[in-house]
């Protein structure tokens, strides 16, 4: 016998549902006693306990979503007025039944229900838990704002060589990585990059003071941008990564000038306009520098150390092998990042490869970088990008079965990575119609001296493979050859501590904040008497000078290091 408690009309509906279910599942006379009858296995005590616990959890979860039964007494009732006038804090982000708040409901054992007429949440429970729930609802607002906050974008001129200040800036064609296959493919249209032209060799104090003031202002502007963004990231739920990348700056939106030539002042003013746009290439962009980059790095023992402290010589540093797969998913992209290295066994070398990273993230097409600051050195032709990206972390268990199997079947063949075959894929993967592109990388990592500052220099050889898409966005897998670009070299700088602190954001509960410190001195540590951020800017100049020496070494044959 079932005992049903509640309102009379609800009890009648419940009885009818039970009767209908019994009728639908009642075996017929022909089935009774036949060999087709399947006896259900008895539940073990452990399994029964798990089922009962899950059942209890689901009942309580749905109960806390609804208004409590009228007349129920509570120690406290609280209200949280939702800031609905702010379009960036949309209530829709919490789901149609506000299921995103289930974690708060269950953790605090409180009813959390929405009052549409007053645009507020009502919380019912004991006083302590209601107070905690209200605080967490406030943090939910911060989390939504952090997820949709606009990125901080800035373009700055870096004039480090005070002995030779350019008088003009000219935009010259820049050739993107060439397409190697398929044969006859149309090559990318060249873009425009700024280079210095003319030189003011005057060493008067006025020019010296002006350039010093510009450099100091650049540091202050970048610091202000970071100080604006970092505190908000405590509430960002998802994947975060901060990198400083060295590349070539390309103009994408700018005011045209006769023969693409500007005075230094005019170009600097144009970069500060809101309509101006550009980006730093993911690779260095100078083929001459790239051709000598790795050999130059291996001779730079005066500023670099192997990241693996068991290794003494830079030339003995072993690479890791990485791949980034991008998949199309309606209005967003899924990205799978994988990395392998040779397995280390005590006392002997091994050729076995072990996977050290598997991470799924999701980007919306309209998402911008949370921080995108380009520091453009037109004298040397290169630029540093302060790049902070944010994305949604994805649990592999929530992915389609096809993508889960795709991840499980990946493999790497290191010998292929070091062959002269520029078309070869050293990452092996199954075909899928969802795949949009692949980037494979050979990665070398080094520590910058002194090691106490914790900066890591990453040098990588990267190559892009793009799968042609149909008009509906699906891939022509097996029907049309992939577009293969030439391999190029990239340089980036970061601290492992940045990744460690940001890792807590990936599993951030609803209504919580990441507890890493946003003290600038921790993110950018001091070096002796030198302030932390000035230490970083100095290291950027050292790395840039090192890469530019690769060109001098190639042209003059002089030794470095």
Query: What is the pLDDT averaged over residues 321-347?
Result: 89
Fold of 44-148: Ribosomal Protein S8; Chain: A, domain 1 (3.30.1370)
Helix, strand, coil percent values for the chain (each to nearest 5): 35, 30, 35
Report the C-alpha gap between 240 and 420 in whole angstroms.
36
Q: Which of the residue ranges 82-91, 153-162, 181-190, 268-277 has the most confident prediction, judged by mean pLDDT?
A: 268-277
Closest CA to 249 of 350, 155, 354: 155
H helix runs in 299-435, sequence order: 401-408, 414-417
Between 131 and 204, name the one with better pLDDT.
Answer: 131
Whole-number Cα distances in Å, 155 to 111, 218, 492 = 49, 10, 18
304 pLDDT tier (thresholds 50, 70, 90): very high
| pLDDT of 222 above 90 | yes
Report the C-alpha gap between 239 and 393 in whole angstroms.
5
* Dihedral sign from CA coordinates of 89, 95, 97, 103: negative
Closest CA to 518 of 242, 331, 302, 161: 242
φ, ψ of residue 545 to 5 degrees: the values are -60, -40
Say which residues have a Cβ less than 8 Å from residue 314's Cβ, sequence separation at least 6: 297, 298, 299, 300, 301, 304, 305, 306, 446
What end-to-end distance do the CA atoms of the chain give, in Å? 87
Query: What is the pLDDT averaged over residues 5-9?
Result: 72
Count CB neighbours of 21 within 10 A. 10
Q: What is the pLDDT of residues 56-82, one digit of tens each?
A: 888 888 888 899 989 899 999 999 999
Query: To the nearest whole percent, how much of the chain has pLDDT over 70?
Result: 86
Q: What is the pLDDT of residues 430-443, one digit of tens each?
A: 988 889 999 999 99
Q: What is the pLDDT of residues 522-542, one digit of tens each?
A: 999 998 878 889 899 999 999
Assigned token pair, 353: 């490869």
Radius of gyration of the chain (CA): 30
The pLDDT value recorded for residue 542 is 92
Say which residues have a Cβ less than 8 Å from residue 357's Cβ, sequence separation at least 6: 322, 337, 338, 339
Between 15 and 303, name the one with better pLDDT.
Answer: 303
The DSSP letter of residue 469 is B
Count CB neighbours of 308 within 10 A. 13
Say which residues have a Cβ less than 8 Å from residue 42's Cβ, sequence separation at least 6: none
| pLDDT of 49 above 90 | no
Helix (H, G, I), strand (E, B) or coil at 554: helix
Task: Report the chain's mean pLDDT, rounded to a whole number.
Answer: 86
Q: What is the pLDDT of residues 103-149, one digit of tens each?
A: 999 999 999 999 989 999 999 999 999 999 999 999 999 999 998 88
Report the C-alpha gap between 528 and 532 in whole angstroms.
9
Report domain extents, the chain: 44-148, 152-556
Say which residues have a Cβ less than 8 Å from residue 2's Cβ, sequence separation at least 6: 18
φ, ψ of residue 284 to 5 degrees: the values are -60, -45
Residue 329 · residue 361 · CB < 8 Å:
no
| pLDDT of 480 above 60 | no
Residue 498 · residue 453 · CB < 8 Å:
no
The pLDDT value recorded for residue 185 is 85
Predicted TM-score (pTM) of this structure = 0.85
φ, ψ of residue 391 to 5 degrees: the values are -150, 165
Helix (H, G, I), strand (E, B) or coil at 490: strand
The pLDDT value recorded for residue 39 is 58
Residue 321 · residue 341 · CB < 8 Å:
yes
43 pLDDT tier (thresholds 50, 70, 90): confident
Closest CA to 435 of 406, 459, 471, 405: 406
């Amino acid at each position: 016998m079932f005992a049903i408690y509640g309102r009379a009309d609800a009890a009648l509906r419940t009885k009818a549902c039970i009767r209908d279910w019994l009728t639908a599942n009642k075996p017929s006379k022909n089935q009774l006693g036949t060999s087709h009858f399947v006896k259900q296995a008895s539940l073990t005590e452990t399994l029964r306990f798990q089922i009962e616990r899950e059942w209890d959890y689901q009942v309580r979860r749905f109960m806390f979503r609804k208004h409590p039964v009228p007349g129920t007494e509570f120690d406290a009732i609280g209200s949280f007025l939702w800031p609905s006038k702010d379009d960036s804090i949309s209530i829709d982000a919490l789901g149609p039944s506000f299921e995103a708040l289930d974690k708060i409901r269950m953790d605090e054992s409180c009813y959390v229900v929405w009052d549409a007429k007053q645009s507020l949440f009502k919380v019912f429970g004991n006083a302590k838990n209601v107070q905690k729930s209200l605080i967490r609802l406030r943090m939910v607002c911060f989390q939504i704002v952090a997820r949709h906050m606009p990125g901080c974008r800035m373009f700055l001129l870096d004039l480090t060589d005070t002995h030779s200040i350019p008088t003009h800036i000219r935009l010259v064609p820049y050739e993107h990585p060439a397409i190697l296959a398929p044969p006859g493919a149309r090559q990318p249209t060249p873009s425009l990059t700024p280079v210095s032209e003319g030189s003011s060799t005057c060493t008067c104090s006025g020019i010296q003071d002006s350039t010093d003031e510009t450099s100091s202002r650049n540091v202050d502007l970048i610091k202000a941008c970071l100080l604006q963004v970092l505190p908000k990231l405590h509430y960002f739920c998802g994947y975060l990564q901060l990198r400083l990348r060295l590349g070539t700056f390309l103009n994408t939106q700018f005011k045209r000038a006769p023969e693409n030539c500007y005075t230094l002042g005019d170009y600097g003013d144009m970069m500060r306009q809101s309509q101006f746009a550009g980006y730093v290439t993911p690779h260095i962009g100078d083929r001459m520098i790239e051709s000598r980059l790795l050999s130059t790095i291996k001779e730079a023992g005066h500023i670099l150390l192997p990241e693996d402290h068991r290794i003494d010589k830079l030339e003995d540093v072993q690479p890791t092998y990485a791949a980034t797969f991008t998949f199309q998913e309606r209005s967003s992209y899924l990205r799978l990042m994988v990395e392998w290295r040779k397995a280390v066994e005590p006392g002997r070398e091994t050729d076995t490869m072990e996977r050290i990273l598997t991470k799924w993230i999701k980007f919306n097409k309209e998402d911008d970088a949370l921080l995108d600051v380009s520091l453009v050195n037109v004298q040397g032709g290169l630029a540093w990008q302060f790049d902070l990206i944010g994305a949604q972390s994805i649990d592999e268990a929530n992915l389609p079965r096809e993508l889960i199997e795709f991840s499980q079947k990946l493999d790497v063949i290191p010998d292929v990575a070091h062959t002269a075959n520029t078309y070869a894929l050293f990452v092996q993967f199954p075909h899928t119609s969802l795949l949009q592109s692949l980037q494979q990388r050979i990665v070398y990592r080094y520590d910058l001296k002194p090691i106490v500052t914790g900066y890591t220099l990453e040098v990588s050889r990267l190559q892009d493979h793009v799968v042609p898409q149909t008009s509906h966005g699906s891939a022509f897998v097996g029907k049309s050859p992939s577009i293969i670009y030439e391999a190029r070299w990239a340089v980036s700088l970061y601290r492992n501590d940045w990744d460690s602190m940001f890792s807590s954001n990936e599993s951030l509960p609803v209504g919580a904040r990441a507890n890493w410190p946003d003290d600038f001195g921790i993110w950018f540590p001091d070096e002796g008497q030198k302030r932390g951020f000035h230490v970083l800017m100095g290291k950027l100049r050292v790395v840039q000078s090192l890469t530019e020496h690769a060109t001098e070494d190639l042209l003059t044959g002089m030794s470095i290091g």
